[in-house]
């Protein structure tokens, strides 16, 4: 995840944009970016937990067994 200082360094003000407008826009964009990253992280965590639980539910028969029923 990117921190605010790194995001600030890669962002530039738009042509004719005042300093106040730049920082307001930068703050809003950064907030949206953090929300999107948090959503992605929550989804990734949910998928990993679901796959861990599904491993317990999958039953694979032992086909190499030499015993007959």
Judge whether residue 8 has pLDDT over 60. Answer: yes
pLDDT of residue 65: 66
* Residue 48 located in a structural domain: yes
* Residue 22 located in a structural domain: yes
* Residue 67 located in a structural domain: no
Q: What is residue 55's DSSP assignment?
A: H
Q: Residue 69's pLDDT band (boundaries 50, 70, 90)?
A: low
Phi, psi of 16 (to 5 degrees): 80, 10
- Give whole-number Cα distances, 66 to 9, 35, 42, 60, in Å: 66, 55, 45, 16
- Structural domain that includes position 17: 4-59
Q: Residue 7's pLDDT band (boundaries 50, 70, 90)?
A: confident
Residue with tokens 């930068």: 26
The model's pLDDT over 21-64, given as tens digits with 9 standing for 90+, comes to 999 999 999 999 999 999 999 999 999 999 988 888 877 777 77
Alpha-carbon gap, residue 36 to 27, rounded angstroms: 14
Domain count, the chain: 1
Contact of 1 with 33, CB cutoff 8 Å:
no
pLDDT of residue 57: 83
């Amino acid at each position: 995840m990117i921190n605010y200082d790194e995001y600030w360094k890669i962002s530039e003000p738009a042509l004719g944009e005042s300093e106040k407008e730049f920082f307001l826009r930068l703050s809003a964009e950064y907030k949206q970016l953090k929300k999107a990253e948090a959503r992605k992280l929550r989804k990734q965590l949910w998928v990993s937990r679901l796959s861990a639980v599904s491993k317990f539910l999958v039953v694979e028969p032992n086909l190499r067994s030499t015993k007959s029923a």
